[in-house]
Amino acid sequence: MRATSRLAVASHPDCAGHRPFAGHPERPERLPAALAGAEGLAARALAVDVDEGLVLRAVAAVHEGSLPARLREACRTAPGVFDSDDNPISAGTYRAAVAAVAAALAGVEEACAGGADRVWVPVRPPGHHALRDRAMGFCFFNNAAIAAEEMLALGAAPVAVVDFDVHHGNATQAHFWERGDVFYLSVHRYPAYPGTGAGDEVGSGPGRGLTRNYPLVAGADDEAYCSAVAAGLDDVLAAVAPAAWVVSAGFDAHLEDPIGGMRVTDAGFGAIGAMLGEAAGKSPLLAVLEGGYAPEALARSVRSFLVGLNGIATS
């Protein structure tokens, strides 16, 4: 097993302020569960300064300028929904979304400066469905895409973005579709929400061949999911030599998840983490929370993933 890498954690308590209606799967309990997954792993907590101006400048690299303002205004009259029925909002949703981006930016800065080999960013709301001009699928700002853009701005190119959430990261794929400096890999259930992510979606223009999708049928288990991740990572490394990695770490493929429809176990997420750690080698890697809606399973899955990612020997 490789030498244990340095792990940092970037989060912010404002991420708990997003409070959808009772019974919604993207509930505040996800945040402490995702944080608990890193406990006892010698992780260093990063200070996260929520500088709204800095966050909005980073958001503008991925989203239209009107999106944050529309969300901020909508939250003033919350509760309600924003852009679609699957995006309920509360008074604290805007602050939570801003804090999530701030945590991702703090993690990128730490990773690219060499302060940590691996950074875990347990935040909510998630981000990989947030389109350039509108919110979608529980997501408001695309945390992973923003992190990748920030890595590029700091000189780390190309960037590999790996998404193993059970739902395809349609917005991340769309953002980098024609880009030659980012490889986007997704392993996900298909057909399923949001309807994208077929195997023939490969990018276009300078980005042709730098998008790779591995769609899996419902009920896929550890063997199927891990085999797809392994094949996808081979594709990444055959095409580019990533200077940095961003992981959309969704744990809703877990067999206990209420909406995922897959059968991945805690151990399966550990194997995925180990493969990512090996693929990234000495390059900085930031993993940001996406889905995962069974809090107890989420905490276990995150721990298993981080143990694998960081090469931590366990008894």
Task: Count how many Cα atoms sit within 13 Å of the Cα of residue 181 in the half-sphere of its side chain.
Answer: 13
- In this structure, what token pair is assigned to residue 267? 């151990």
Task: Count how many Cα atoms sit within 13 Å of the Cα of residue 182 in the half-sphere of its side chain.
Answer: 28
18 is catalytic: no
Q: What DSSP assignment string belongs to 168-219?
A: --HHHHHHHTT-SSEEEEEEEESS-TTS---TT----GGGTTSEEEEEE-TT
Task: Report the candidate in 240, 260, 123, 95 with the shortest Cα–Cα distance to residue 176.
Answer: 240
- In this structure, what token pair is assigned to residue 47? 């200070």
Determine the length of the chain: 315
Task: Report the candidate in 284, 283, 301 with the shortest Cα–Cα distance to residue 292.
Answer: 301
Name the percent of the chain in helix, strand, coil, to the closest 5: 40, 15, 45
Task: Report the candidate in 268, 152, 156, 171 with the shortest Cα–Cα distance to residue 211.
Answer: 171
The answer to whether residues 168 and 295 touch, using CB atoms and an 8 Å cutoff, is no
Give the C-alpha separation, 81 to 70, whole Å: 12
Instruction: Classify 160 as helix, strand or coil.
Output: strand
Interstrand relation of 80-82 and 84-89 (parallel, antiparallel or unpaired): antiparallel
- How many C-beta atoms surround the C-beta of residue 109 within 10 A? 16
The answer to whether residues 148 and 243 touch, using CB atoms and an 8 Å cutoff, is no
The strand pairing partners of 188, in sequence order, are 215
From the list 12, 128, 129, 168, the catalytic residue is 129
Instruction: Classify 101 as helix, strand or coil.
Output: helix
> Which residues are annotated as catalytic?
129
